[in-house]
Structure 1
Amino acid sequence: MAELSPITPCLWFDDRAREAMEYYVDVFPDSRIRSIEEYPDESLDEHFAGMKGKVLNGQFTLNGMDFVCLDGGPVFSFTESISLVVRCADQAEIDRFWAKLSHVPESEQCGWCKDQFGLSWQILPANMDELTRTPAQIQVMMGQKKIVIAELENA
């Protein structure tokens, strides 16, 4: 098996890392789960109580980008201060990823959405810089939830 990228994001889940990996590799092309190492028998150490069978170290690739993840319990959770940017070729691709990744409507703004695991995503056209050059385009974008390319082009 090939080594991971020199810099690899690590995603800390409460207890849904396996479910998240399976979901994400279904959403993105050229994706796969590389490996899953589970927590050992919880009788070996009190720190593992309730974690038997959960993901201690998961490695997966999404559209060619490597990630690692773990089930670490409720100590930490995702915030909007970190998001993953998905650059899309056209509106159809934006619509497809948005349908799969947006699960928290109150978190939607300017192409940002949050999935069912609490991870924030930016679903953007690959040419977003060209679509937000004028104040009118920026104003339209600020009012959008999901990015609609035609609205930006017509602003």
Structure 2
Amino acid sequence: MPSITTFLTYNDQAEEAANLYCSIFKNSEITRVTRSGATGPVMSVIFQLDGREFYALNGGPHFTFSPGISLFVSCDTQAELDEYWENLSEGGQKGQCGWLTDKFGVSWQIVPSRLGELLGNKDPEKAKRAMQAMMKMTRLDIAVLESA
């Protein structure tokens, strides 16, 4: 089975981004930093977020991120959702429906783990109300979605 790793290309902030992400997510660490020469600038960083491997490269200003791809964080509690939402959006931009862009331009979706169940409820009216409630939100509110 092949290994699939998320590869993120930054202008020159790969190490800063990896440090931020590792400070936010539990069970995370930087596993390797590669420099250009013995003391040169950082070229790449390999890190793990809760056991999932990521590769970050300093590729220069012609690489940019797009909301066409995002990192999806499924949260069991409102406290967990709120913490990720605030920490990842700091210096970035808060969007609609649980989407945000961090200060490096990476798009994230911070959502309740039950979101699919709520939006796909067997009662089409309840599902519609949950969708309507979500469409009015930036940071998602689990209690409001569940009571919709």
TM over 0.5: yes
**Structure 1 unaligned spans of 5+:** 42-51
Aligned-residue CA RMSD in angstroms?
A: 1.5
The 10-residue stretch of structure 1 (110-119 or 130-139) with the greater mean CA deviation from structure 2: 130-139
Structure 1 distance, partners of 2:11, 2:37, is 17
The alignment-based identity, stated in percent, is 41
Q: 2:135 aligns with which of 139, 142, 152?
A: 142
Q: Deviations over 1:95-118 (max 9, x none)?
A: 01001011334x511011111111
Aligned to 1:151: 144
Aligned to 1:97: 84
State the TM-score, normalized to the length of structure 1: 0.85
State the TM-score, normalized to the length of structure 2: 0.89
Q: CA shift at 1:142, angstroms?
A: 1.1
Q: CA shift at 1:53, angstroms?
A: 3.0
Aligned positions of 1:57-72 closer than 5 A: 57-72=44-59
Q: CA shift at 1:143, angstroms?
A: 1.2
Q: Deviations over 1:60-94 (max 9, x none)?
A: 00011000011111011011011000111110100
Residue identity matched to 1:92: A
1:14 equivalent to 2:1? Answer no
Q: Give secondary structure in 2 for the equivalent of 1:81.
A: coil
Structure 2 distance, partners of 1:53, 1:24, is 23
Residue identity matched to 1:81: G
Residue identity matched to 2:137: Q
**Structure 2 unaligned spans of 5+:** 122-126
The 4+ residue runs of structure 1 with deviation greater than 3 A are: none
